[in-house]
Structure 1
Amino acid sequence: MANTRTVTVINGDGIGPEVSAATIRVLEALKVPLEFEFKDAGTEVVAKFNTNLPDETVEAVLRSGVALKGPTGTVVGRGLPSANVGLRKRLDLYSSLRPVKSVPNVKTRYENVDLVVVRENTEDLYAGLEHIVVPGVVEAIKVITEKASTRIARFAFEYAKKNGRKRVSAVHKANIMKLSDGLFLDCCRKVSREYPEITFDDVIIDNLCMQLVKDPTRFDVMVMENLYGDIVSDLCAGMVGGLGMVPGANIGERTAVFEAVHGTAPDIAGKGIANPTALMMSAVMMLEWLDLKEEAQRMANAIQKVYGGESKVRTGDLGGSATTAEFTNAIIAAL
């Protein structure tokens, strides 16, 4: 196939291999000029590699420049550092991009949600810089830099400009963390002056959470530090049906990883009933990033058709009885 691009596929843990296989079936049905190279990451490969993020996986993504990734597990409170965090650090995937939009016929408490969470991905408390000072006392280090804050602010404004968005809101806690969050907010304000056509405001993180659950339609693009972004992006996902209904991307200067942001769901792994929608939506974002816009639109339209029409094909998490394969067949038929 002429001009074929290699995509590194990281199946991940739990239901990861199932949703990855389903998504690749759709991409192959689209006849996209892509070939897939499979690499390992996650808790299930630790015994084989003595790490949850093998060097060969990172090197493969560096070569291909793009990866499609299923969910990977992280043990709570002990064990190895997160493979997700490690991948973002080693590839300098500085921007986490999470569009959150209502899906037709998926009933939630909210309607017409259309938000974008832009999350700085490389520093802040989420970077996991912590140590024991003395037994019983742990110190976690929050690092905020002008470089990273300016870079993520510019990413948010560029995204808004390219996608016809009207407002960018900087999210912070600068009333308390006057130096760290104050630096982040100051960088956002400086960048905003370069985009006079886009409305800029700022909102304190706790107030944002209250305002979101009151009326999510008042926000558009929200840019924030790493830990706030992790929490707010999941909160927003809950407004449209959960993490199984939203895509995610981690984007750097030359490399991008598109992933399902939900968990590994070990309770249903191997049963063939997982919902692959999130990873399929992430694949749409990947096609757009690869400038395969026609194919991206066809895949997006097929997902919308299955959810928006009279189709009753739904997986168990949405009250249906369709298997992963049956849902995937419906998407392929809708192409």
Structure 2
Amino acid sequence: MMQLTVIPGDGIGQEIMTQVLRVLKHVNAPFEYEEHAAGESALITHQSLLPQTTVDSINKTKLAIKGPTTTPVGGGHKSINVTMRQKFDLYANVRPVRSLPGVQCVCSDVNLTIVRENTEDLYAGIERMVDDDTAESIKRITRKGSERIARYAYELAQKTGRSQVAIVHKANIMKMSDGLFLKVAQEVGAKYPNIATRDVIVDNACMQLVTRPQQFDVIVTENLYGDILSDLCAGLVGGLGVVPGANIGEKAAIFEAVHGSAPDIAGQNKANPTALLQSAVMMLQHVNEQTKADAIMKALIAALSDVNARTGDLGGKGTTVSFTDAIIQKLG
């Protein structure tokens, strides 16, 4: 058995996490669960968005599943997600994007993965006021950061049978920073001759993604571009409520729902657990429990195809609990 840190999060987090744990326990996932707090709820109970007890747990288990969290606006609070990625050096943000049966979407045949560098670029938060009227942000790109995210993307492509990696950049304008990222990624790509490499300027990538997303397999890109492209691609397949995510480093991996905490519907049995459940599927794949991951995904797709099962946000008649009941029933 493996120890797993469970972070329900804020708003609808507790509701959807409860249902995801029901599914994991039903398939006898090999985990021992220990629950810890993070986000706005943790600030209230522990006077910290990320309590030391939660940090200690992740350092011990090396594995966590996290519901949506809220970072309070104002007050100098740093994003809880950015904080966790930097604290645990979770350098790879992995966002599979695929069309799902029963989910109304712009494109019905999308199946790609975005691999986003997670620790540097403008999101490192290196800023200063030059004077009262001028603010400055430093875009920092390193060879180490570029090399390890590119290697992760190519290894993922190879492992999952993908044939192409697209390097997304703006090296035509930022010739040093993006130029370094592109150069290093291409050097890494040259070591994988069985995988085709192309480079795409980020604005063109946006246009290509909304006109013909089927041409992409794996996209590797910098932090800011990856954040934008991830949400763009989620919009193609039905929104953030149906897209999973993972933040992976050498020493820890955190799997999370990438949507918000939706406090307006918290406690109403309306929340859709699809994104968090798919993140749990990614977690099972990460720990080499592919059979269990496949079984859950098959049951989820079957439930999504049933209008009586899927939740109201997807045009269905189900609730958080009844949707999960349907998934478990289809698991047998």
Q: What is residue 288 of structure 1 aligned with on the other side?
A: 285
Structure 2 distance, partners of 1:274, 1:30, is 22
Q: CA deviation at 1:134?
A: 2.4
- 1:51-78 deviations in whole A, cap 9, x for unaligned? 2111221111110010000011124565
Is the aligned partner of 1:241 residue 2:224?
no
Structure 2 distance, partners of 1:77, 1:190, is 42
Look up the SS of the partner of 1:86 in the other structure: helix
- 1:291-330 deviations in whole A, cap 9, x for unaligned? 112211111111122123x453121111123110101101
- 1:217-239 deviations in whole A, cap 9, x for unaligned? 11110000001111100110111
Q: What is residue 172 of structure 1 aligned with on the other side?
A: 169
1:227–1:236 distance in 2 versus 1, CA, 3 Å: same
Q: CA deviation at 1:48?
A: 2.8
Structure 2 distance, partners of 1:188, 1:180, is 13
Structure 2 distance, partners of 1:44, 1:259, is 17
| TM, length-normalised to structure 2 | 0.97
Q: What is residue 332 of structure 1 aligned with on the other side?
A: 328
Structure 2 distance, partners of 1:13, 1:68, is 14
Provide the aligned length of Structure 1 versus Structure 2. 331
Q: What is residue 265 of structure 2 aligned with on the other side?
A: 268
Q: What is residue 159 of structure 2 aligned with on the other side?
A: 162
Candidates 301, 323, 333, aligned match of 2:319: 323
Structure 1 distance, partners of 2:125, 2:58, is 23
Structure 1 distance, partners of 2:203, 2:274, is 30
Is the aligned partner of 1:25 residue 2:27?
no
Structure 1 distance, partners of 2:124, 2:74, is 15
Q: CA deviation at 1:94?
A: 0.5
Structure 2 distance, partners of 1:65, 1:143, is 27
For structure 1, the 5+ residue unaligned runs are none
**Residues 277-316 of structure 1: matches in 2 within 5 Å?**
277-308=274-305, 310=306, 312-316=308-312
Q: What is residue 39 of structure 2 aligned with on the other side?
A: 42
Identity %: 53
Q: CA deviation at 1:47?
A: 2.9
Structure 2 distance, partners of 1:217, 1:66, is 32
Q: What is residue 254 of structure 2 aligned with on the other side?
A: 257
| TM, length-normalised to structure 1 | 0.96
Q: Check whether the contact 2:104–2:314 (CA below 8 A) recurs between aligned residues.
A: no
Q: CA deviation at 1:262?
A: 0.5
Q: What is residue 182 of structure 1 aligned with on the other side?
A: 179
Structure 1 distance, partners of 2:159, 2:85, is 24
Q: What is residue 126 of structure 1 aligned with on the other side?
A: 123
**Residues 112-151 of structure 1: matches in 2 within 5 Å?**
112-151=109-148
The letter for the 2-side match of 1:324 is: T
**Residues 73-112 of structure 1: matches in 2 within 5 Å?**
73-76=70-73, 79-112=76-109
The letter for the 1-side match of 2:69 is: T
Structure 1 distance, partners of 2:152, 2:19, is 31
Q: What is residue 10 of structure 1 aligned with on the other side?
A: 7
Q: CA deviation at 1:131?
A: 2.5
Give the aligned CA root-mean-square deviation in angstroms.
Answer: 1.2
The letter for the 2-side match of 1:209 is: C
Look up the SS of the partner of 1:21 in the other structure: helix
- 1:10-30 deviations in whole A, cap 9, x for unaligned? 111111111111100111111
Structure 2 distance, partners of 1:177, 1:74, is 31
Q: CA deviation at 1:6?
A: 0.9
Structure 1 distance, partners of 2:68, 2:104, is 25
Structure 1 distance, partners of 2:308, 2:213, is 28
Q: CA deviation at 1:39?
A: 0.7
Candidates 25, 31, 54, aligned match of 1:57: 54
- 1:101-154 deviations in whole A, cap 9, x for unaligned? 000121212121001100000011122222323223222111100000000000
Which stretch shifts more, 197-206 or 316-325? 316-325
Q: Check whether the contact 2:95–2:115 (CA below 8 A) recurs between aligned residues.
A: yes
Q: CA deviation at 1:261?
A: 0.4
Q: Check whether the contact 2:242–2:275 (CA below 8 A) recurs between aligned residues.
A: yes
Structure 2 distance, partners of 1:74, 1:54, is 14
